[in-house]
Structure 1
Amino acid sequence: MAYGCIKCGHTEADQKEVSMTGTGLSKMFDVQHNKFIVIFCKNCGYSEFYNKNSSTAGNVVDFFFGG
């Protein structure tokens, strides 16, 4: 079984870490305490967000490719 991007089938991905605000006061004061790892396809740009604090954040590229 071949793994790849679920949108285009490409087999190369990269990752970035991003921070985002929540709601309420954190949004008003621009406190970015929600941290995510974004895995994206290098071909089409399809992206998936993973919570950095979850136990699955260790090898999220495998999740992107269906592993």
Structure 2
Amino acid sequence: MEKQQYVCPKCGNTHYESDQFQATGGNFARVFDVQNKKFTTISCSRCGYTELYKCATSEGWDILDFLMG
């Protein structure tokens, strides 16, 4: 597998910052405040353009998140 270099589609910059966040999705998840959607973000360090990539989640972590509230 070939490693690709990041190039911002807006400004052409080749430097980026990566982060993750979780969000609540669906009615059941909102009622019980379960953050069952996970995303990785890639943000251009020059212009701030950000792309979201959905991450796979496991039911075990969803249950743990529910129990810890």
- The answer, yes or no, to whether TM exceeds 0.5 is yes
Match of 2:54 in 1: 51
The equivalences for 1:1-67 within 5 A come to 4-53=7-56
CA distance in 1, matches of 2:49, 2:33: 27
Q: Given the two structures, how large is their TM-score scaled by the length of structure 1?
A: 0.68
Once the two structures are superposed, what CA deviation does each residue of 1:26-57 show, in whole Å capped at 9, x if it has no partner?
A: 11222101111111101111111111219xxx
CA distance in 1, matches of 2:22, 2:51: 14
Q: Whose Rg is larger?
A: 2
Match of 2:62 in 1: none
RMSD (Å), alpha carbons: 2.0
**Runs of 4+ off more than 2 Å:** none
User: Looking at both structures, which has the greater relative contact order when contacts are Cα pairs under 8 Å and sequence separation is at least 6?
Assistant: 1
Question: Would you say the 8 A contact 1:3–1:9 is kept in 2?
Answer: no
Identity %: 40
CA distance in 2, matches of 1:24, 1:3: 36
Alpha-carbon deviation of 1:3?
5.8
Aligned length: 53
